């Protein structure tokens, strides 16, 4: 990927329905804040220059980012006036990246992945804007993607219609905006200055920049992600539990494909950074977290809690709590 690429992560949402004292982006999916999932995907895609736009309860996000082992730039959105307004707060960051491309995405959509980011960038290929879309069974609440064929025969993006402003016919469309965009920085900056408030919501929509760019004649495309979960977020703790279950099963499947025997997945939770060698057995109600390493032919559980431990091969641990790096 082009080493000049950068990313702006929008992390200003309050998440009122979470009923939490902390901002939504710090809600955890498999014991890792949602914004960390996003940052990890961005960095795995080869993008190291990152700006996070904070907002509601910003001090919590800023404290979290301060503890990361790498630098992340931060800007504050004092008023929540929409996604377009949020990106405006990163104008100085964007000015320093003129002549390159920037990824803009949400900090509360944990399942965006590096592969989708890189594939969308390949489609973008120096265009004005490329929107990452996904096809979902229940598109309620998402902006709908409308395609058209350009004069040159290219399938391009015609419009993105927000749920609040969509007709009944448009609401039937299942291809939705993921909230992930690749922009040519110069095109994005020029279009931000042309945004006006929505007459319906009083907000500045980032989606409107797409069509300001389209007016200039630059390519505006939609890349449909293979990973439909890339659009998923959580507005309350019920939806957060659903994200956790999706992530939990993904992690378990990854280990099972690598030769770890998990005969019954009931109650088994394995953190994202855990490493388990093949031929280990993980039994029900076991929770394994942190930078734990489990050797071959270990038998863990039932009902084991292991955090930040190195477990040598052929070890059997059941109904135990371990929170040490030493065995």
Q: What is the pTM of this model?
A: 0.93
CATH class of 6-231: alpha beta
Residue 2 confidence (pLDDT): 52
> Per the residue annotation, which of 17, 96, 98, 250 is the catalytic one?
17
290: left (phi over 0), alpha (psi -120 to 50) or beta: left
Give CATH for domain 258-322: 2.160.10.10
Residue 104 confidence (pLDDT): 98
List the chain pLDDT tens, one digit each, 327 residues.
655 899 999 999 888 889 999 999 999 999 999 999 999 999 999 999 999 999 999 999 999 999 999 999 999 999 889 999 999 999 999 999 999 999 999 999 999 999 999 999 999 998 999 999 999 999 998 999 999 987 777 788 988 988 888 999 999 999 999 999 999 999 999 999 999 998 888 899 898 998 899 999 998 999 999 999 999 999 999 999 999 999 999 999 999 999 999 999 999 999 999 999 999 999 999 999 999 999 999 999 999 999 999 999 999 999 999 998 655
2: left (phi over 0), alpha (psi -120 to 50) or beta: beta
Q: In the chain, which residues fall in CATH 2.160.10.10?
A: 258-322
H-helix or E-strand spanning residue 132: strand 129-135
Q: What CA–CA distance (Å, rounded) separates 305 from 318?
A: 9
Helix axes 207-215, 185-192, angle to 10 degrees: 100
Q: In the chain, which residues fall in CATH 3.90.550.10?
A: 6-231
DSSP string computed for 180-195: EEEEEHHHHHHHHTT-
Q: Where are the alpha helices (DSSP H) in the chain?
A: 34-44, 58-66, 83-88, 91-95, 114-124, 185-192, 207-215, 237-257
Is residue 17 part of the annotated active site? The answer reads yes
Residue 52 confidence (pLDDT): 98
Q: Compute the half-sphere exposure of residue 274: CA atoms within 13 Å on the CB side of its CA.
A: 32
């Amino acid at each position: 990927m082009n080493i000049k690429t950068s990313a702006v992560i929008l992390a200003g949402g309050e998440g009122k329905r979470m009923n939490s004292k902390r901002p939504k982006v710090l809600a955890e999916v498999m014991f890792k804040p949602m914004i960390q999932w996003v940052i990890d995907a961005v960095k795995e895609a080869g993008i190291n220059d990152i700006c996070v736009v904070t907002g509601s309860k910003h001090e919590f996000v800023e404290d979290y980012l301060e503890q990361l082992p790498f630098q992340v730039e931060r800007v504050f959105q004092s008023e929540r006036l929409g996604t377009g307004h949020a990106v405006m707060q990163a104008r100085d960051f964007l000015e320093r990246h003129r002549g390159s491309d920037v990824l803009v995405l949400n900090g509360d959509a944990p399942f965006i992945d590096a592969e989708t980011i890189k594939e969308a960038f390949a489609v973008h290929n120096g265009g004005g804007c490329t929107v990452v879309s996904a096809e979902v069974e229940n598109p309620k609440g998402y902006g709908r993607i409308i395609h058209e064929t350009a004069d040159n025969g290219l399938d391009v993006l015609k419009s993105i219609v927000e749920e609040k402003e969509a007709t009944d016919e448009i609401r039937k469309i299942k291809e939705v905006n993921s909230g992930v965009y690749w922009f040519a920085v110069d095109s994005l900056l020029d279009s931000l200055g042309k945004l006006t408030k929505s007459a319906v919501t009083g907000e500045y929509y980032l989606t409107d920049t797409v069509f300001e760019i389209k007016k200039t004649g630059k390519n505006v495309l939609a890349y449909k992600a293979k990973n439909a979960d890339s659009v998923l977020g959580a507005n309350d703790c019920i939806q957060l539990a659903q994200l956790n279950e999706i992530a939990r099963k993904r992690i378990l499947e990854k280990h099972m494909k690598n030769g770890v025997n998990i005969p019954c997945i009931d109650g088994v939770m394995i953190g994202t950074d855990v490493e388990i060698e093949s031929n280990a057995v993980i039994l029900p109600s076991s929770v394994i977290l942190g930078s734990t390493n489990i050797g071959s032919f270990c038998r863990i559980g039932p009902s084991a809690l292991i955090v930040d431990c190195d477990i040598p091969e052929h070890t059997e641990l059941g109904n135990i709590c371990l929170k040490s790096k030493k065995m």
